[in-house]
Amino acid sequence: MKQVLHYIDGEFVEGNSERQITVTNPANNEAIARVNCASDAEVHAAIASAKAAFDSWKETPVSERARVMLRYQALLKEHHDEIAEILAQETGKTFEDAKGDVWRGIEVAEHACNIASLSMGETVENVARKIDTYSYTQPLGVCAGITPFNFPAMIPLWMFPLAIACGNTFVLKPSEQDPMTPQRLVELFEEAGAPKGVLQLVHGDKSAVDILLTHEDIKAISFVGSVGVGQYVYKTGTDHLKRVQAFAGAKNHSVIMPDANKQQVINNLVGASVGAAGQRCMAISVAVFVGSSKEWIDEVAAEIGKVKPGLWNDPEAGYGPLISPQAKVRVLDLIAQGKQQGAECLVDGSDFTVEGYETGNWVGPTVFRNVTPEMSIYQEEIFGPVLCCVEVETLEEALELVNNSPYGNGTSIFTASGAAARKYQHEVEVGQVGINIPIPVPLPFFSFTGWKGSFYGDQHAYGKQAVRFYTETKTITARWFDSDIATGPNMTIALK
Ligand code: NAD
């Protein structure tokens, strides 16, 4: 069985801890790899090595840092399909979807190649006579990243390329459920020529995270994961006076106006709701049908019902299994609650399996209608292939419903009306809005801007906001005397 390795102080090591985690194939729950959780001493060693590496990395010229990123993005592209295959095997994602996961990460590494332009400061000449003010961005030190299972390539790549391009060093603690993909990303980073110590990889769970959250040499924490853990990470990290950005769970609504193109709505809702088995933080889990668009619900359900889950390498498969048996139990329990609480189950995937893989974490596509905000299937992030359909009469009612949600990650509206779209984009209290686009994940020159209970912090992932998150601004006010005539003391705070 494959042994997953840590990367500490420039060496790939098995680790000495007795505590082991087994990585399984979600399609049948057979073991495919084993990882020793990093011991406390190993996490401390990773942080110490990253701290030592910071001294020279921060002095490395920006174009040299950019060149490491250029080589890295080229290597990621060269190994794109191979990474996607590892990813598909440990997550169960279809090969096409796994390739998307890798690609959306590569786009961020590509963006990090622009670090010289991205990290430029500001200048104003003559803020007072013969006095100029200019600012620089300088790195923070050692940063850490804690990532979830559902995008084991994209989300680590949201973090370490930009943090490191800014001149920081980085400790990555990926999800223990699919650690092989992050290991491959780190191997390629070494191959790209990153100096020893700049990137560290430690595997494990809460005990490794707790050291990162409290260690005095960690200056900033990037976290992506569930709401409860996100709140814990944000509170503990900030309590230890660190900068923290914590991306958490979601419940994303798509509003369907009666003037929308019906076929586009159906096509888009299918992939956005049950694609990746609904295990996306930007999945559409609630479709809000406005007015007469409710007449399309049966057709939407019928199309979603046609999607067949299957193995990662089955080109006919619409999506794969859930990540773990626990995840499956949780989703089945929520489906059962939906039925008990009075929602009408139009398509029921609770009894689905794949022949020959009966022990896998399969859940078939599931669609409910007559869902109301009191129901647990409406309130909870199901993180499974389940779409909840809600009916309202007006756009105002739809807005009220969406704005009452505690989450604010993503939303979309399907309409042919510019006025309705403009009203929705302006009034909705959600950080990422799609207009006739179901899953509006911004490209890396923007930032990933979830709101409310989907995000704790202020500067978001990638784009300019990430550069602000991973740097300090130093502002210099300078005067050079061109004569030695003294003007006498200035007893005020004004620049003269
Ligand atoms: P998770 O919270 O269980 O795990 C995330 C990370 O935290 C992992 O590395 C894990 O080892 C660590 N962790 C788990 N429990 C911990 C604890 N008690 N203390 C400290 N660390 C702990 O999340 P997951 O199940 O891997 O990922 C799915 C969740 O991530 C969903 O809620 C999804 O919406 C969310 N997510 C959000 C975004 C976003 O951008 N908002 C993106 C992707 C995923």
Q: How many Å lie between the centroid of ligand 1 and the Cα of residue 462?
A: 18
The answer to whether residue 203 sits within a structural domain is yes
CATH number at residue 400: 3.40.309.10
| Total domains, the chain | 2
Question: Which pLDDT does position 490 carry in this prediction?
Answer: 83
Residues 333 and 400 in one domain: yes
Residues 90 and 181 in one domain: yes
Residues 61 and 172 in one domain: yes
* CA 278/CA 343 separation, integer angstroms: 19
CATH number at residue 99: 3.40.605.10
> pLDDT 10s per residue in the chain (496 long)?
899 999 999 999 999 988 999 999 999 999 999 999 999 999 999 999 999 999 999 999 999 999 999 999 999 999 999 999 999 999 999 999 999 999 999 999 999 999 999 999 999 999 999 999 999 999 999 999 999 999 999 999 999 999 999 999 999 999 999 999 999 999 999 999 999 999 999 999 999 999 999 999 999 999 999 999 999 999 999 999 999 999 999 999 999 999 999 999 999 999 999 999 999 999 999 999 999 999 999 999 999 999 999 999 999 999 999 999 999 999 999 999 999 999 999 999 999 999 999 999 999 999 999 999 999 999 999 999 999 999 999 999 999 999 999 999 999 999 999 999 999 999 999 999 999 999 999 999 999 999 999 999 999 999 999 999 999 999 999 999 887 666 788 888 888 7
Question: Which pLDDT does position 284 carry in this prediction?
Answer: 98
Residues 169 and 265 in one domain: no
Residues 186 and 272 in one domain: no
Q: Which atom of ligand 1 is nearest to the CA of 151?
A: 43
Residues 65 and 138 in one domain: yes
Residue 150 CB–ligand 1 contact under 6 Å: yes
In the block, which residue shows the tokens 């499956």? 328
Question: Which pLDDT does position 485 carry in this prediction?
Answer: 66
Q: In this prediction, does ipTM exceed 0.95?
A: yes
Residue 350 CB–ligand 1 contact under 6 Å: no
* Active-site residue, from 281, 345, 388, 389: 281
Q: Which of 91, 223, 226, 322 to mutate to test the pocket of ligand 1 (most atoms within 8 A of CB)?
A: 226
Q: Which atom of ligand 1 is nearest to the CA of 233?
A: 20
Residue 248 CB–ligand 1 contact under 6 Å: yes
Residues 390 and 405 in one domain: yes
Name, in order, each residue with C-beta under 8 angstroms of 135's C-beta and a sequence gap of 6 or more.
121, 122, 123, 473, 474, 475, 476
Q: How many Å lie between the centroid of ligand 1 and the Cα of residue 150?
A: 9
Question: Which pLDDT does position 482 carry in this prediction?
Answer: 82
Q: How many Å lie between the centroid of ligand 1 and the Cα of residue 230?
A: 7
Residues 112 and 260 in one domain: no
Residue 282 CB–ligand 1 contact under 6 Å: no
Residues 322 and 464 in one domain: no
Residue 146 CB–ligand 1 contact under 6 Å: yes
Question: Which pLDDT does position 491 carry in this prediction?
Answer: 84
389 catalytic, yes or no?
Answer: no
Boundaries of domain holding 416 = 252-435
Residues 219 and 262 in one domain: no
Residue 144 CB–ligand 1 contact under 6 Å: no
Residues 180 and 273 in one domain: no
pTM of the model: 0.97
Residues 22 and 136 in one domain: yes
